[in-house]
Structure 1
């Protein structure tokens, strides 16, 4: 699963996981299991999720989303563009 988090200072963080609840808890606790980029930026909010059949597909999607501009990520979150269009690079 691909997910996008919004931090307290409105930054966006994109990641992948097989267990969103566990991963969100790791990020929220701010310990060594959470991403360094998110430490001290709580509270966090899950603003987007997209399921994938396997890790390989999720990794490709993560790469593509991370290359998007902030405006394009916001359009993805709002539902104005689809994950399919991101994967097809039509954003």
Structure 2
């Protein structure tokens, strides 16, 4: 759903691509996975191209920061929470 929302491929979320157009949706996806599931950070990292748990932790912290400073990220977050909670 997140890939569809951002109009990127699921494979992009799992890729090593660090461009902002891919990295931001990946970070939001990781933060949503932590927020909406009981999965551990290592489990979430494994789902995103075998990333380390510290990468997931960084993504979660970054998304909290971005939600406070960037209205578009906050809007995306609210929309995705609503979509995924249905």
**TM-score (normalizing by structure 1):** 0.28
Give the number of the structure whose residues are more often strand, by fraction.
1
Q: Which is higher, the Rg of structure 1 or of structure 2?
A: 1
State the TM-score, normalizing by the size of structure 2. Answer: 0.30
